[in-house]
Structure 1
Amino acid sequence: MIEQFVEQKVYKKKELLLTEGQRCFEKFFIVKGCVHLSYLKQNGMEQTIDFAMENWWTSDFMAFQHATAARFSIRAIERTEVLSISAGNQLELLKQLPELNAYFHMVFQRAYAASQMRIRYLYDFSKEQLYLHFLENYPEFTQRVPQYLLASFLGFTPEYLSELRKKFLS
């Protein structure tokens, strides 16, 4: 029944699912692959703020909710297959299957809690602790995400990340 509300899409490596500034009409369930959510800083540098891989939802959720211009871009890190759902289709799906409200509530509660913990770690951990915590808790990302994106996500320069990797992986 859900299939009629979603659209299957495939994105090539480095292809944009969503572009900052573009109106956001959909959110994405990652079936296979990995993406990163980022924005362009005033200095022109890209800042990665999140990753999503299999069985995760991603979007610019504020822009999705209001059908406004995205403040973030989403780019495929590798070939990525998604199920895309529009806001209208999501509303209709939830009318027909209200049980999914509980599912979406739990998904976003978990995501929000993870976001809160990330903010705490950014304030409480040293850079070394932050890197070690990420390695310990998200080893699948360190294998699939390019080092420059991981450095951006952690708030490091790629050079500093390289130094940390040498220190802890040798």
Structure 2
Amino acid sequence: MAVRAVSVARERVVRVQLVVVAEAVPAYGDGVGLSAEIPSPCEPSLSFAAERGLEMGEFDVLTTLQRSGPPYELTAGAFRKAAMVTSGAITNRIDRMEAKGLVERVRDTGDRRTVKIRLTERGHDVTRTFMKEHLANEARLLADFDREECEELAAKLRKLLVALGDTTIK
């Protein structure tokens, strides 16, 4: 549980760090070489995505669906809350992913007005492969932390996510 919370929180914190760095560059002159000096713990994740022609936002959708559990489907509204992006961004992301065969749109059997986004078998395969590599990277990043330190880090990152307006998936 703690490792998953650290993983989810870390990805979102890195996004915030990138924004902060981008905004800080003008304050430090021309900023030449500034971003090159900042190591990216997400590099394995980014290269995995790039090698497969996918964007990190698409992996966010894949892993959110995987974490939701069987039947691995959520409404677009649930994604909007989880990803903290606009409904238009979610629609565009899902359109691209559907064209790649990673997800499919399905009508809710109880309410035909509701459309859910569901992982396809290909989406599961990509997610499983990605998660193996991602968890190995997480283990590498947390290797110097004992269990208690990991739990403390997870608690602090959860607090940060709440402060940033994160909401529950369901």
Fold match (TM-score > 0.5): no
If asked which structure has higher relative contact order (CA below 8 Å, sep 6+), I would say: 2
Decide which structure has greater helix share: 2
TM normalised by structure 1 equals 0.28
TM normalised by structure 2 equals 0.28
